[in-house]
Chain A
Amino acid sequence: GAVVSQHPSWVICKSGTSVKIECRSLDFQATTMFWYRQFPKQSLMLMATSNEGSKATYEQGVEKDKFLINHASLTLSTLTVTSAHPEDSSFYICSARERDTEAFFGQGTRLTVV
């Protein structure tokens, strides 16, 4: 299947700082990218959907000013967690698809805010 590379795999940051997570589609053009978070033992929760060149559409309850999403090219989307707090510690996963095909997932990023 297609490859989606997410970086970093894990990150520890201090409370109040910002963290940027990158999601790249390596061998296809990702017209749509999705960002999810997952708390332990829970299902994936969609945070936002972004289409290349457009503003991201955030799910209800997700703060767009806190979770900044940029999808500036067909191969790269970034999620920036601004002013991170311990409650933002979670597993963040991106997925990407080309038009209406199946979505492929990145490896995920485990964020720990201390």
Chain B
Amino acid sequence: GQNIDQPTEMTATEGAIVQINCTYQTSGFNGLFWYQQHAGEAPTFLSYNVLDGLEEKGRFSSFLSRSKGYSYLLLKELQMKDSASYLCAVMDSNYQLIWGAGTKLIIKP
């Protein structure tokens, strides 16, 4: 079966760095997405990785290792507004998105 695993909840301090991991087992791979979702709102797109390596976009970076079925989202210089759920999703061989359950990130002052 297809499976996406990510931690349920993480806590970090304002100004610090946090890494949210995602491991996946899917039938085929056509890219991995990270989305941010604030409570009561729709998810917003953060990043897309299809090749191995690190993609940096401002304070957020995303890493992919296809051979290990592994990705992480790295958030630097954490701000209180970064408190949200972070969703990992993989596009399988049929171009369908398989979603993880999301990681709730709590930022403390």
Contacts and interface: CB of A to CB of B under 8 A. Distances in A.
State which size class the interface on A falls in: 20 to 34
B33 interface: yes
Interface in B83-105: 87, 91, 95-97, 99-102
Contacts of A1: 45
A74 to B, nearest CB: 17
Which 6 pairs, one residue from A and one from B, show the smallest C-beta to C-beta distance?
A: A108-B42, A43-B101, A105-B42, A93-B42, A102-B48, A105-B43
Interface residues of B, number: 20
A100 interface: yes
B17 to A, nearest CB: 25
Contacts of A42: 101
A44 B44 contact: no
12 contacts: A43-B87, A43-B99, A43-B102, A44-B99, A46-B96, A49-B96, A91-B40, A102-B48, A105-B35, A105-B43, A107-B42, A108-B42
